[in-house]
Structure 1
Amino acid sequence: MAGGKETPRQKMIGMMYLVLTALLALNISKEVLNGFVKVENSLQNTQKTLKGKVSETLTTLEVKYAQNKEKVGPFMDKAREVRGESDQLVNYITQLKGRCMATSEGKYDDAVENDFLDFIGKDDSGMDTTMSLADIQKKDEYQELTAFMVGSEPQSPKFDENDPWSASALKQNLEAYRDYLKEIRLVDSQGNSRELPEYIKVQLDDRFSFPNEMEDGKEVLWEAANFFDVPLAAVMPLMSKMIIDVQDAQEDVLSWLLGGIEAKSYKFTDLKPLVVPESNYILRGDSFRADVLLAAYDATNAPDIFIDDQKWDGRDSAMLAYEGMEGMTIGADGMGKLRIPTRGMSLGEMNFKGLIRFQGPDGNIEPYPFLTPTITVAEPALVVSPTKMNVFYRGVPNPVEVSVPGVPQDKIDVRIDGGHSIKRQSDGSYIVEPANNSSIREANITVSAELPDGTKKTLPSKNFRVKRIPDPVAFWTGKKPSDKGITKAEVLSFAPVAARMEGFDFDVKVRVKSFTMRISKDGSFSDLASGNNRITADQKEALKRLRRGNIIYLEDILVSMPDGSERDLPPMKLKITG
């Protein structure tokens, strides 16, 4: 029976078989032979009982398979395979029994195919079965049977690889079946490898063990001890017992397969719908994406959850070393409450490694490593767009910050049209350098963002005006065109003529290339030119002769701009005041 244990009925049958075998050795009457018939009939009934139990187990497996093919499939496939191997061996032993009956009755000729079929029939399920031992006339025949099963030499039983009908071949087939069952392995739907438990393997070794036996102080081979000079009446129950052993082994394995389906089935007390979004920040025009599932938890068996608050390096695949770490708080809803402060944390995308330790249905604590979803740590951002100040200036680097809320900087692609250029800087900002073509007066910046699912979303473009840099303002000795007077001391400082950008926030340097100094003295004018920004010797001599009330004009002030152009600045008029 399953588990290798014998019922009281089987134990009684076994004892009867031993007693009757001993009586046969004493040449007891045919009443003893009829006792073997009773044992054989009892064993036949046991076979039917076991066959029904095997059928019931297979039916249960079929029902579970119909309910969940993916989960039960590996177990069902192996069960069908075991059934096929077992049925094949049972049919083989049954046919061998039929041949033994035909041999003892003198009606078997191995040269004639199927010469034994008069002794074989079909049971209700279509399986081969033999004629009742009670209907056999020569129950005590053993000479022809011995020659058929063992041969003439008990210590050298006959064996032919091409002849499966012998005691040695029977032993070989039973051993092969045992070894096949012991090597059973499968991989379940979760990828777990399963193999036959050790206790079943031990039972198989015990059940299909064929040791030599001691008779009259001599060691006798198993084949000779069971089939040499043993009458048909004793051989038939022996072979029926072999069929029962096969059925027992089959039931053990099928029951293990059936139990294996639920061996890793966890029990939970509550169910809860759970929505896990790919991102909590959705761009208009994009789709909200999330995994929706029914989560289960056991309120009576809270797991231990640990998390490493240091950013995962993306390479370390080892299980989290949780020893010494404080477990996460578990709420009444069965969920761990994760809080990781970001103060002092670097910016960008990151994951965190964690571990859940949960007591499984077998009582063992099972580890479940995990990585948190990718999170993006960013600086708090305020976006204010001065719509009237959307201007890029030619000739200077225009700094620009580009961001898409909810999307990391390394996941955005920034482009600009019109022949202008835009380059990303090491700090994540951008520099726009407009084209020098004065006819191009606009620039459009387009941003594409890579979304969490890997798709790219192109955002509406942003338009900018492109202008030239405003004119600088001329300066001389600290004076500018709006000033009217200058002292003689300031004049005699002979400071160079300069130009500056007033009210312009860009750091722009301009250089005066040339200018003309016109001096009004005693009603006459003198024009003195300089080919750079410095006061020439002639200009210095003229300035030295000036006195209060004379007027100095700075005209034709030509400056070189960063965009390569040259500009004439408005003139300056300064009257010497003292």
Structure 2
Amino acid sequence: MAIKKRPVSPRQKMINLLYVVLMAMLALNVSTEVLNGFSLVEESIGRTTSNAAKENQVIYDNFVEQLKANPAKVKAWFDKAQEVKRISDSLYNFADELKFAIVREADGDDADVKNIRAKEDLEAANQVMLAPGRGKGAALYKAINSFRERILMMVPDSAQREIISNNLSTQIPKTALTMGRNWQEYMFEDMPVAAAVTLLSKLQSDVRYAEGEVLHRLVANIDMKDIRVNSLNAFVIPNSQTVVRGDKFSAHIVMAAVDTTQQPDIYIGNRKMELRNGLYETVCGRTGDFTLAGFIEVFNGSGERIRRDFSQKYTVVDPTATVSADLMNMLYAGYSNPISVSVPGVPLNKVQATMSGGTLQPVGPGRYIARPAAVGKDVTITVTSTNTGRVQQMGQFTFRVRKLPDPTAFISVKDEHGNPDRYKGGALLKSRLMAAEGIGAAIDDGILDISFRVLSFETKFYDNMGNAVPMISDGARFSERQRSTFRKLSRNKSFYISGVTVVGPDGIQRKLTSSMEVTVK
């Protein structure tokens, strides 16, 4: 049998609702011992934050001292440190203002953050951080995110980046997100004053920690406390250890590692030198072996003076150069004569050459093509060097100029192995003669190998009566009449090739006076 429920009066519904509210308030009530525990944590965090701030201030003070000692080196890092201080102080002070605002909301105008009376107050944090239109929670959320991103850009170490990122995280549990709560509501809604102040103090501590990590990284970049090398020595770096008489000996005198923003004191022969960028130069008027010796002094980051001795030997020689014609001891007019140019102790890319009486074309390091303009007129090749930064003449060389000699005519044949060969007279197999297309001409004396173009030639055959029968070629090729006569020649029969007209690479046409006797085998 069903039981009929008794109707509940409006008065009873109100009493039931008030009871539920009372139970909720009792459940949310925080004990005095827990609230006092927050005070202890707040004091501990405060001491940690104070110590971190003092350590950071020592680094800031060192930056100021180093900036005075070496502005060129420290200025860029000092500016970055000041930027870190600015953004760190901005977030730190904002958190400080919020702490005071929450305590004042709970305790009144005479509030003291270090002596909170209404520690259990659950409304003060709500009013300051979450009140519609004037709550500061959203602004704090944006400030933390902005600070975290800017600080992480200055921290390359992945482990330190992870620590800072976790300390300054604004992520909240997924359960809070599903309930529609944002970061500021999750952190400060119904939060007792003591707990809210402790959370903001923890944020201040994280800010000072991140600030300190970046400052230590900036200090490492300028070697504030020491010169971070395991060995310091003075070095002389000469432009060249071999110097031509009359030229300059140039050398950089440095201490390794080199600091381009600090001018060291350099002494040569116990005399202090005023050298621009450490560059030492002296004119070398005598040949022989010499030594550049002295010492160099420089300050390290802590202001200590460091001295290192240096010594460098160098040799002064007379101006000299070498110019050689690659294929001959003279130059030929109208011909591309290969020339090699060098200077002992000087790189080829620092050597240049010019020629009078013709053209001199560079074709590679130390390699030229010389083309004299006229036969019988000497040419002069002048060699210069830029090894020490200025042009210095190293020598002049004169060559006689002559016309190319006459070439020797030959028949282009192939030997028994099928390789090209130049037949210049004597016995010749009839089969090789018939396989040849014509004749060529070249200067081929073991030193030169210069081809000439054959314009024409003639062959002379003798009949049974001893009469000469001349036949004209088809340019450089045998004519059909000549080839027909070759077929009819009997063994040991001879004929002559003469009247060879050629033109060489110099453009000069000439007729060879010598003739070639060919005996058919």
TM-score normalized by the length of structure 2:
0.45
- Structure with the higher fraction of residues in strand conformation: 2
Provide the TM-score with structure 1 as the length reference.
0.42
